[in-house]
Chains A and B, each alone.
Chain A
Amino acid sequence: MVEKKLICVICPVGCEIRASIEGGEVKEIRDFRCAQGEEYAREEFTSPSRILTATVQVKNSSIAQLPVRSDKPLPREKLEKAMFQLAGIIMAPPIKEGQLIIKDILGTGANMVASRDLEK
């Protein structure tokens, strides 16, 4: 059994939530002040994940970088690896917000998609 703690980021209060963890499961969780906080902390303790936002190169355009995002969160430890995949991509306009850039990045089930329209 390991004791872990984190600062809740759901609201400005910033509760310091503690939990006892065993075998990747939360056995006991305490010091939260709301249900959302508890839910956030449970996930954060066991399988933290994040939306990845970055850019990819874009050619023949008014801008040099196209913003992209993952359409769902990636496991936190895969964020930096995912960046290496994005580094080799070159896009060209026109591009629509939501357009697929990389499908199922690193086998996470999350797709990288464009996060803006780009006409030229």
Chain B
Amino acid sequence: MRTSDVDVLVIGAGPAGLGAAIKAKENGAREVLVIERDFEPGGILNQCIHNGFGLQYFSQELTGPEYAGRFIRKASRSDVEIQTDTMVLAVNPSREVITSSRHFGLQLFRAKSVVLAMGCRERTRDAIQIYGTRPAGILTAGTAQRFTNIEGFLPGKKVVVLGSGDIGLIMARRMKLEGCEVRGVFELLPYTNGLSRNVVQCLNDFSIPLYLQETVTEVLGKDRLEGVKTIKVDKKQSPLPGTERFVPCDTLLLSVGLIPENELSRKAGIKIDPLTGGPVVNQDRMTNIPGIFACGNVTQVHDLADDVTVESEIAGTAAARFRKGNLQGKELSVEAGRGIRYVVPQRIDVSEIKKENPLIFFMRAEVPTRQVKIIFTQEGEEKFGETLPFIKPGEIIKITISPEMLKKFKPDKNILVEVGKGNNNG
């Protein structure tokens, strides 16, 4: 097996991996190698042909391929090596990485630091238990997106979308623009999980109906999908008898959630946060294994590629600076409290806080709420608070704490992040 040493090995050449690799290079890492399983770099952005990327990071509205293209070209200018069509088979806690490829066979890389940037995958029909037969015509929205936008095929022409996450909304529009009939987007919850912009521009613009609190319970059709059975649900998501209906269609696209892809991480012994589905990381995006970092959708499922980039730059910078034998400092944990589903980072390494840098916390709300104060407490005492006009589960909350404000925190007490009392549920 060919064996080589590298400074930073990045797994995945999507926006997270490329962002991390470029930053690692900028911060002094010499050999930076990115391993990508697909035929070309860019990750899922290659199939996300719609616009809406880059508004925050580049202050310009780009399509997915354009956003990826900027990083691909920059990586190439920065002398970052990308090995495509290569799969990582294993990572161990000593940062040895085994890869397999049709061009190079099996290779062993010994890395000073590793950045995990494998992204996420989609939940499937079976994961959410839709009963019925097993006909052709049931696909995840992302798979349909790849077929339509890259491979040049359509799975059918009468489409029902289940789930109002962004991919579901975007695929509803995409299928409509391709000449399909889109019968509607069904959503179990009383609100959409996608960005408001996508509801307006993907559904309203094309008069595609959005059915909130209505879900697909069963599929029909022996060989080919012939239709779906739907039912309305109440606030507790319990089905309302008598509201069943049959919606004829030949294609069902599922946009029912994304799951960080952490099989490699788990096997490497990396601790996973059950709330995010991603590794528990500190403010540098370092996992519990020294020298192994994680960023992008493998850490938490982001709404915006721009946020992935922000996170990847943190991880890439830290990965370049990490030196073998670097001992972890004392860490305190950051926990999600009332009204908050999760917080990233989950740990703060006190000794590593750069006094000149602010800390950015990513979090998700449990329910849509207007006029809320998000508070950070230690031992029940409020240390920091920020009031937001509106929060909802579908849109990630980012809170930046400045170095001055950070001084108010005790260095040895865990932090709880919660929604202040007395907020209106909205």
B11 lies within 8 A of chain A by Cβ: no
A116 to B49, CA, bound (A): 9
Residues from chain B with Cβ under 8 Å of A22 in the complex: none
Residues from chain B with Cβ under 8 Å of A117 in the complex: 69, 73
A115 to B48, CA, bound (A): 11
B232 lies within 8 A of chain A by Cβ: no
- Beyond A50-B201, A64-B152, whether A12 also contacts B61 by CB under 8 A is no
B285 lies within 8 A of chain A by Cβ: no
B395 lies within 8 A of chain A by Cβ: yes
A7 touches B196 (CB 8 A): yes
Give the residues from 4 to 21 in chain A that come closer than 8 angstroms, CB to CB, to chain B: 6-9, 12-14
A54 touches B390 (CB 8 A): no
B107 lies within 8 A of chain A by Cβ: no
- Beyond A80-B177, A115-B49, A115-B65, whether A67 also contacts B149 by CB under 8 A is yes
Question: 1/0 per residue A63-106: CB within 8 Å of B?
Answer: 11101110000001001100100000000000001000000000
- The smallest C-beta distance from B149 to any residue of chain A, in angstroms, reads 6
B149 touches A65 (CB 8 A): yes
- Beyond A9-B200, A12-B196, A62-B39, whether A67 also contacts B65 by CB under 8 A is yes
Residues from chain A with Cβ under 8 Å of B177 in the complex: 54, 79-80, 83
Residues from chain B with Cβ under 8 Å of A55 in the complex: 49, 148-149, 152
Give the residues from 170 to 224 in chain B that come closer than 8 angstroms, CB to CB, to chain A: 176-179, 195-197, 199-201, 205-206
- The smallest C-beta distance from A16 to any residue of chain B, in angstroms, reads 11
Question: 1/0 per residue A48-67: CB within 8 Å of B?
Answer: 10110111010000111101
B100 lies within 8 A of chain A by Cβ: no
- Beyond A54-B49, A115-B49, A117-B69, whether A67 also contacts B391 by CB under 8 A is no
B389 lies within 8 A of chain A by Cβ: yes
Question: 1/0 per residue A26-58: CB within 8 Å of B?
Answer: 000000010000000000000010110111010
A69 touches B196 (CB 8 A): no
A116 touches B66 (CB 8 A): yes
A62 to B46, CA, bound (A): 13
Give the residues from 41 to 63 in chain B that come closer than 8 angstroms, CB to CB, to chain A: 46, 49-51, 61, 63
A57 to B148, CA, bound (A): 11
Interface residues of A (CB under 8 A from B): 6-9, 12-14, 33, 48, 50-51, 53-55, 57, 62-65, 67-69, 76, 79-80, 83, 97, 115-117
Question: Which 5 A-B pairs have CB atoms at the shortest separation, nearest pair first?
Answer: A64-B152, A116-B65, A9-B197, A67-B49, A13-B390
Other A-B pairs, 10, CB within 8 Å; known A6-B200, A13-B390, A97-B65: A9-B197, A12-B195, A13-B389, A51-B51, A54-B49, A64-B153, A67-B49, A79-B205, A83-B178, A83-B179
